[in-house]
Amino acid sequence: MTISGKATLEVTPQSLRYAKPFMPMFLKRLRAVQVGVGKSFFVGPESVSSWWSAKEHRFSDIRVLDPDPDPKFIAAILANVRASFPALADIEVDEAWGAYVDSTPDAVPVISPIEGIGGYYLAAGCSGHGFGVGPGIGFLAAELIANDKPSVDPHPYRLSRWSDGTRIEVGAL
């Protein structure tokens, strides 16, 4: 069970650093998010400690991003279920789980070779649609890596769209 259209945006040093390109996305999602500061400000890949650290494995120390679930959201989910299914009025929460949803500035994934680093390809930034579009992302990434003729135009998915002056337009959320 989950709740749709509700989330917390955790402010981190890295998110402040890159806030400008994410602003159109933030404004579009404003009603769905509450803004807060959590553990991620101090620990993990987006944190102050990581930013200034020269530690070799600082981006791989935390491999699973599972933040503590917000008790307010859990209570709201439970209230929704009890109201919608009166027969379940007595159920209790046995286990709760939280997660991060990644996002690019335009909600479109990056499926792209990285200019300047030969042989390095990026397929990431599913922006909350990775279950659905993951197979397509993998297929296009494989075609690019194998230097096959791509079955769809890879241009909209290039990484350089954020550095070549292209205007950022937020895609479907």
Ligand X SMILES: Cc1cc2nc3c(=O)[nH]c(=O)nc-3n(C[C@H](O)[C@H](O)[C@H](O)COP(=O)(O)OP(=O)(O)OC[C@H]3O[C@@H](n4cnc5c(N)ncnc54)[C@H](O)[C@@H]3O)c2cc1C
Q: What are residue 121's DSSP bridge partners? A: 113
In the complex, residue closest to ligand X by CB: 130
Q: List, in order, residues 6 or more apart from 73 with CB less than 8 Å away.
A: 3, 6
Q: Site for ligand X (CB under 6 A): which residue of 5, 56, 63, 95?
A: 63
How many distinct helices (H) and strands (E) make up the chain?
5, 4
Measure Cα distances from 53 to 23, 56, 150 in Å: 27, 8, 39
Q: Site for ligand X (CB under 6 A): which residue of 31, 56, 60, 84?
A: 60
SS3 33: strand
Residue 124 found at the interface with ligand X (CB under 6 A): yes
Residue 67 found at the interface with ligand X (CB under 6 A): no
Least distance from ligand X to the Cβ atom of residue 90, Å: 26
CA distance 123 to 110: 6
Q: Which is nearer to ligand X, 31 or 63 (CB)?
A: 63
Least distance from ligand X to the Cβ atom of residue 126, Å: 3
Q: Which is nearer to ligand X, 89 or 117 (CB)?
A: 117
Q: Which is nearer to ligand X, 134 or 156 (CB)?
A: 134
Residue 32 found at the interface with ligand X (CB under 6 A): no
CA distance 150 to 147: 8
Residue 85 sits at φ, ψ, to 5 deg, of -130, 85
Is the distance from CB of 169 to CB of 28 less than 8 angstroms? no
Residue 136 found at the interface with ligand X (CB under 6 A): no
Q: Site for ligand X (CB under 6 A): which residue of 101, 114, 145, 152?
A: 101
Q: What residues line the site for ligand X (CB under 6 A)?
A: 60, 63-64, 99, 101, 124, 126, 128-132, 134
